[in-house]
Chains A and B, each alone.
Chain A
Amino acid sequence: MIRLNNLVAAYRTGRGSINAVDGVDIEIPDRCILGVAGESGCGKSTLMKVLYGDVLSPMSLASGSIEYGFNDDQNKPVTSDTIQKQWFKRISYVPQSSMSSLNPVVKIGKQFVDFPGHEPNKRKVMEQVKTYIGKLGLPVEILDSYPHQLSGGMRQRVMIALATFFQPELILADEPTTALDVVVQKEILLLLMELQEQMGNTIILVSHDMGVHYQITHRMLIMYAAKAVEYGESDSVFAAPLHPYTRMLISSLPTIGDESARNGIPGSPPSLWGELGGCRFAARCPLATDKCRAEEPPLVEHKPGHFAACHHAGSEIPAAGEPIWQ
């Protein structure tokens, strides 16, 4: 189980410091695919960076901590201070841009073994790599190829092969399929699910695509303006979302047979500069009351395992008048 203890990640800027992740406090069970959704700027990527331990200036871990729930080689529990030593051993990362994440002038096989100090015998590792990529449905010849000789889908498979080769406990995937067409996207997602089932590790997947989340995740975390606003089992979140923001996100998904125009969510997220009193979604929320504007709702468990940060959690949204766009 991975524990995020009231995590706050801040960016230091010329105008002062802002919290891009502001007090996320959740527990992620083992062997689960967690989806993270929210609009641009909500703190998804910052959360991923903090989880991966890639905390570089001007970003810093202002407060809080992470317990990863697995031990290092010395049998000590891994925390946010020691996670860097576990990169591509116990935690790995699938980047968004497979297109540009491979070194264009070095053969792919070589890029599999340039991790330091895992195994001094490179030839033995190469043998393992060969059998492994065979299992992922990649031809062995790609190890002798350069990145530009592969298709986008193949390259993304290579990225997944790289990320899963060492059988890490935790894999972070930051929009791993955004640049791919839907057919390849589905193949890649199925591959990730299959590998996760075999290896029993945890995957944290960031995506803008609620359809992707619906298909493959076990749990969902919805973020809004640096806060976790809803967290729970995917089935429960998609069937009965508690937070009005989640509801509006889900209802913006098209469904077959429903020909009515989709409504966007009017307005835009609040600036993280300055005073943020009350609920951060209040300005865009159809349910907002004076209480919402005055008092910040905590993330509380409304149903077993299903959390939401809303004073009116579960209330129906009144029918919108005019659609916002058509």
Chain B
Amino acid sequence: MGVVQYIAKRVGLYFAVLFIGLTITFFLPRFMPANPIDGYIGELQSRASGSLTSEAIAELRDNLEQLYGLKGDLFTQYVSFLNRVVLHFDFGPSFAFYPEPVSNIILNALPWTLTLLLTTTVLGWALGNMVGLVAGYFHTRKLATLLEIVGIMIYPIPYYILAVSLIILFAYIIPIFPLSPTFPVGDISLSKIWLIVYNSLLPAMALILAGFGWNILSMKALAVATTEEAYVTYARLKGTSHWTRMVRYVFRNAMLPQVTALALSIGTVFNGALLTEILFSFPGVGLIMRTAASGGDYNVLYGAITVSIVAVATAGLVIDLIYPLLDPRIRHK
């Protein structure tokens, strides 16, 4: 298979996934019996103690349908939805922060989430794999078993317990970090960056620890199996050093499934975002999603879900494109 064909196939698949994801996002809420505009008008009507005339209601309905892309039959709505989302990244205004456009809200929150989650996911992966590699490569030695025990101890702790324990431990019992962190908005200055990093340390630690245990266990198992391979034995008999064998022989082979795992966990970054950002009041997409969900802010939810679909699909695409560089058996079929 040629390189161009390979890339074309992956990119084609990527757009197909995006299209299907967006379509589901569009149709699913529309199959719900409740209409958000009815709800909104009902709310207004009760606030105005039923004083709204039916003409005023009709006008209001018309305006709202226009604003939120609910005008016309399902197909017209669908086409205009795709047109707005795909071509203009426009999800309409937020209900809660009217008339702030949803795209603004999300674009403001996105860098926070991406920076925190990507950094911690990659760091947790790298640290876990390093420890797992050493534990697996030296699996016959007692000291290496200790490293594995670290993984076994951390892995089964549910994330929310881990996060809350860290908050209690490092913000309450030993108050190194603030209990209610503040994250400055607006222009970035050096002192602000320091404040942001300082306030992000606790959520970052929780996220790194959460990924750490699993990566240790998984990499350890892979590394143990790889050290039994004939090419590692042969490398040993060639007289290569432990370092060469551990890195170039065991790690290069054992990391391949781990890269897939990394891609999958990067794709689910937004799941992690939800819980972390609520627990640590971190101003990212997760916090916005929660506020939107509890406030019935459909447009914001649409936007956040769309962004997470794009993120998951993009992570998959990136890994598909990187994988052949790591595994020549895929590159040269």
Contacts and interface: CB of A to CB of B under 8 A. Distances in A.
Interface string B209-251: 0000000000000000000011101110111110010001100
Nearest to B140: A57
A101 interface: yes
B326 A88 contact: no
Contact of A104 (B233, B244, B253): B253
Interface residues of A: mostly helix, strand, loop or mixed? Answer: loop
B327 interface: yes
Contact of B237 (A54, A100, A146, A148): A54
A106 B238 contact: no
B140 to A, nearest CB: 9
A138 to B, nearest CB: 18
A103 B249 contact: yes
Interface residues of A, number: 23
Given A146-B332, A148-B329, A149-B332, A103 B248 contact: yes
B192 interface: no
Contact of B240 (A100, A114, A148): A114
B252 interface: yes
A95 B229 CA distance: 13
B252 A105 contact: yes
A87 interface: yes
Given A114-B240, A116-B244, A101 B234 contact: yes
Interface in B282-333: 326-329, 332
Size category of the binding interface on chain B: 20 to 34
Given A100-B231, A104-B253, A106-B252, A88 B238 contact: yes
A97 B237 CA distance: 14
Contacts of A88: 238-239
Contacts of A105: 252-253, 256, 326-329
B238 A114 contact: yes
B260 to A, nearest CB: 15
Given A105-B327, A114-B244, A146-B332, A93 B252 contact: no
19 contacts: A54-B237, A87-B237, A95-B233, A95-B237, A100-B230, A101-B231, A103-B231, A103-B248, A103-B253, A104-B253, A105-B256, A105-B326, A106-B248, A106-B249, A114-B235, A114-B248, A116-B244, A146-B328, A162-B238
Given A102-B231, A103-B248, A116-B240, 9 more contacts: A88-B239, A101-B233, A102-B234, A103-B249, A104-B253, A115-B238, A116-B239, A116-B244, A162-B238
Interface of B: 229-231, 233-235, 237-241, 244, 248-249, 252-253, 256, 326-329, 332
Interface of A: 52, 54, 84, 87-89, 93, 95, 97, 100-106, 114-116, 146, 148-149, 162
